[in-house]
Chains A and B, each alone.
Chain A
């Protein structure tokens, strides 16, 4: 295990893009200490900001300290494990294709931006645009799983193409906006305009007080979707807390968004559905 203890105090962003388990696993410590990262727009050696110790050969990195100003941790990683002991900055696990990231604290915006594979589990809260497409992209996240135990901001799963995003707490506006496919499940409350512009895929609003749905979604039935139980069981197997009252509830199925292809669905707990369409 390679331990990277953050020691710097700087208001300027520190970016560690490229510092992945596979990039450093065969490097001696001295070389890792010379690994160039960005401090603002200047390249600096890693050792100016981190105390480096341990052995990287098992492809496990442990980041320690107050890392809220450190961005792109685990970005583009393809294997191994990353543990962040503390708060993390933006773009955790961006474009990762494999491996596992655990944030044992809060994370900022863009967790798993355009992620392709692997698992990110944020044990605290996260910012905006979790599992989302970067601006301009035709496709967002195309695979993998993102779990956030706490609450998140706006635009979760923007232009999601494939994969699973689960939010244990509340989410902001535009969850699942422009979704192409894939699944976003929110166990807390949701902000306005969920799944706006979605083409296919599933957005599950499984918590209380769902917002009024857009008029371009039509209620088609009430059921206990078997696929939802499978998804919940999968989440439970990943140590994600699934509330007991989700398992056997009835869900209203709303198809849309009819401003586009209209083949997506929003699942709303039936006990709340009456409020949703009122």
Chain B
């Protein structure tokens, strides 16, 4: 008779949430969840994976990537040459065909994440106007659970509410918008700067206290007010921030000031590497690392978390809601450029680029990312990311793991980059090597905790049975790029690198309570200014594929 149990037996388990550091354990699974071992000793599992000698971790969680939405689709369309030369994802009996390159197609994205042991990913920048299409794309992105952050940092309704000094109206709007889009948390990108870019030729804001014309607000006010609303709504994740002045020499001062702006509120600063630069005004010859100064501040302020946005050398496609940044990059790299204006909500810029190890700037970007991992005292608040595909592909995570775990490999690579990196960063002096326990934190347990996902990132009873089993190998790139097995929601989906059962995965969203009176206000706003009717804007629950509401605290 079927017991309904699935057992991963005898693996070397890493579960930092429960302080388990490489202990031999059994993991019991039932109905897609991890459960306690059955009390009766004679219970036999329906299926057992012998994990003796293998490393067992929770499934990976990518908390900041770009895998869906209009920017991703525009990038897919504008880079046929990238796809033509890339690995082909061929159809099999159980899987669909797809394309790779720097911006993989939907199905390929799901397969590749799962094939690397990741079971959850969050798209970091979705204009809510495009949410409906994102849900359709997510349904075609198999094997992983998904969610997305909703762009709000340049939303006209948000800025108008701040201008009017109406925090209740702002809070209700944010809650309504998250619920309407079925998103996860507010995303702020270059607050105010994108709006100025849309108003003026080459416009932008360059500091936290510059005025955003017409709305009469500042970046500082946008960050403060949205962060406060997120705290009051008790959302599981904090506001997710892409600071002003991304990529500019000397931007670390803006970043530090932004960190201070959060006060005691939670705040997540995304792709922090791109915001940790010293140097003069747009003068690349003075470019240097200020990671150390910023790490010290984050270490001392437990309300702040970051993901790194590691740069890897090679070609990729940048995509951002930071419209002026897209323009800057296309000029810097003399590459093709896509720009769009998402009505009242956001902007977008896309440009292909190539990071070269012969370039001082690119080499420093690579080094600064590694500095963040290696200098930070608390790995729970520093998350692995490449800001896929902006710094590089998510498929580079195994290489980053090796760079962190193997200082010989790291120093060998350091010899191949621009020599001035040694003078302008501290990377050459850093001897720290990450342990598997710490890798487990920065790739799954930490991001799950920061996202407020109680059922992810650990292997205790009640957790989603998302489990990755690796074959130990001194070559950490090899170890992490092809797990021995991946279990998603209790189903073996990857075995020896082959996709066995491409589950759809579920959507993770929030539905915070709010004052329903806001809806008439928003409806009037829509009728006046939007290209879409209010009643057609909200994505209804029955439009979603498998979905799970993550409760507010």
Contacts and interface: CB of A to CB of B under 8 A. Distances in A.
B79 interface: yes
B140 interface: no
Interface stretch (B80-88, B171-179, B235-243): B80-88
Contacts of B81: 134-138
B332 to A, nearest CB: 15
Most buried by B among A135, A136, A138: A136
Contacts of A134: 80-81, 84
Contacts, number: 14
B375 interface: no
B406 to A, nearest CB: 36
Interface in A115-166: 134-138
A137 B336 CA distance: 10
B344 interface: no
Contacts of A138: 81, 335
Interface string A190-201: 000000000000
Interface in B69-120: 78-82, 84
A109 to B, nearest CB: 16
A139 B78 CA distance: 15
A137 B78 CA distance: 10
B519 to A, nearest CB: 44
How large, as a class, is the contact surface on chain B? Answer: under 10
Nearest to A138: B81
A135 B82 CA distance: 10
Nearest to B97: A41
A159 B78 CA distance: 16
A136 B103 CA distance: 14
Contacts of B82: 136
Contacts of B80: 134-136
Contacts of A135: 80-81
A136 B80 CA distance: 6
Interface in B46-84: 78-82, 84
B330 to A, nearest CB: 13
Nearest to A137: B81
A11 B473 CA distance: 52
A201 to B, nearest CB: 18
Contacts of A137: 81
A136 to B, nearest CB: 4
A137 B81 CA distance: 5
A137 B80 CA distance: 8
A137 B84 CA distance: 10
Contacts of A136: 78-82, 84
Nearest to B77: A136
A135 B78 CA distance: 9
A10 B335 CA distance: 42
Contacts of B78: 136
A152 B103 CA distance: 35
A226 B78 CA distance: 41
Most buried by A among B78, B81, B82, B84: B81
A228 B225 CA distance: 69
Nearest to A43: B90
Nearest to B83: A136
B545 to A, nearest CB: 27
B185 to A, nearest CB: 35
A136 B82 CA distance: 8
Interface string B357-370: 00000000000000
A135 B83 CA distance: 11
A135 B79 CA distance: 8
A138 B82 CA distance: 11
Interface string A61-103: 0000000000000000000000000000000000000000000
Interface string A216-228: 0000000000000
A16 to B, nearest CB: 17
A99 B84 CA distance: 23
Nearest to B80: A136
Most buried by A among B78, B79, B84: B84
A138 B351 CA distance: 13
Contacts of B79: 136
A179 B312 CA distance: 32
A180 to B, nearest CB: 12
Nearest to B84: A134
A75 to B, nearest CB: 12
B352 to A, nearest CB: 9
A17 to B, nearest CB: 12
B490 to A, nearest CB: 34
A44 to B, nearest CB: 15
Nearest to A133: B81
Nearest to A139: B81
A134 B79 CA distance: 11
A136 B83 CA distance: 10
Interface string B317-349: 000000000000000000100000000000000
A135 B335 CA distance: 14
A136 B81 CA distance: 5
A125 B84 CA distance: 27
Nearest to A135: B80
Nearest to B78: A136
A134 B80 CA distance: 8
B315 to A, nearest CB: 11
A154 to B, nearest CB: 19
A271 B463 CA distance: 83
Interface string A251-278: 0000000000000000000000000000
Nearest to B82: A136
A83 B216 CA distance: 72
A10 B423 CA distance: 66
Contacts of B335: 138
A134 B84 CA distance: 9
Contacts of B84: 134, 136
B379 to A, nearest CB: 40
A68 to B, nearest CB: 24
B334 to A, nearest CB: 9
A134 B335 CA distance: 16
B52 to A, nearest CB: 40
B338 to A, nearest CB: 12
A201 B521 CA distance: 61
B202 to A, nearest CB: 21
Given A135-B80, A136-B78, 12 more contacts: A134-B80, A134-B81, A134-B84, A135-B81, A136-B79, A136-B80, A136-B81, A136-B82, A136-B84, A137-B81, A138-B81, A138-B335
Interface of A: 134-138
14 contacts: A134-B80, A134-B81, A134-B84, A135-B80, A135-B81, A136-B78, A136-B79, A136-B80, A136-B81, A136-B82, A136-B84, A137-B81, A138-B81, A138-B335
Pairs A-B, 5 closest by C-beta atoms = A136-B81, A136-B80, A137-B81, A135-B80, A136-B79
Interface of B: 78-82, 84, 335
